Structure formats: C-alpha cells, structure tokens
Chains A and B, each alone.
Chain A
C-alpha cells in the first residue's frame, strides 16, 4: 500500500477563519512533507518532518502552522490566510528524510476568500 490520504479535498475559507488540513499514511514512513502548488507551477516545499519533529521550515509565514501528532499523521493549521494563499496543498511521505522517492497525497484545493 503506497497511499497517502488527505482531507478535505476542497476547502473554502475566509481570511479570519481557522481551519486544518489533515494527512495520513500507514507505510511506516518516518518523513512527511507539506508542499504548496500554485496553478501551472511545480510543487514548492513548505515543511519537512522527520521522526515526528520539524526539521525544515522553508521560511513559511506563521499563519501556516504544521503539527505531527504521531508517525502516521500530519496536520497543517491555517489562520488568517490571504487570498494569495489559495493553492493546492500536497502532503507527501518517504521512508526517511531526504529520500528522493516520495509518495504524494491527492492534495487539498484551498480557496481563501
């Protein structure tokens, strides 16, 4: 099983809302990632978790707050977002941090109004 699941599939939120994106994998992978993808652009790395600890934050604004409750789950908490944050948010996992083979979830399509 190489499945990474993400919920919700679509999310519309106002600039004052607080929402969370969820990601789950049961492959025993110890690294999990959040990417952001704008239309017609390649995915851009946001955060990397390794063994449930945040190891990389690619200078992401604090209105994005990641959380890794356990080795299978990854959350992205959203607060006071801007319309330009509208994008496809992708979760991925790999056996260990740095492994180039990664498995991606289907993504959450976020629209900020």
Chain B
C-alpha cells in the first residue's frame, strides 16, 4: 500500500533539546510539506520541498530545519530555538505542487 508515514506518533522533548520528526512516503511524490497545527486552528506551513536537495521556508520556519536528501524522506528538526514547539505536526506530499495532498497521521510533540 502506498502512503506517507510519520513517526513517532507521540514525542516528548525536554526544553533545550533538538528533536527530529520523521516523514517517509512511497508514493513517488516530488513535493513534500511540513505543517504545524495548534488546538482549534488551521495548518501553518513550516517548510516545503518541490525536489530533492531543495526546500523553501514557509510562514513559520524560525526554529525549524529540514533536509531532503532522498525523494522519499523529508525529516523535520525542531530546534531549541523554537520557543513554543508543543503542537501537532503534519507532513504531506503531492505529485505536483497544486495537486491534492496526501497527509501522514501526524506527530504530537510535547515539551516537558
């Protein structure tokens, strides 16, 4: 079955630590995206990548970093510079920019 997998489902981070969220897809999609969702709110774009080895900042990139070394993988690192990282993080992919997105099931990050 083709799909997009996010791991872990739940993640706890101590203040001052960096953590990396995994996102893997086997849909052969070129474009991949990271969004952040806070309770009762919509999605805000953190980073996106249209092609391997290239990525662009979204609206709230500060305190986050990404890499796109393989087409299938687009990990997101939440750095200690992100002041309010507790949120639900969603990864998505699409066959072309502007097509329908396929979403992963999300990672809930909590700072303890």
Task: Report whether chain A binds chain B.
Answer: no
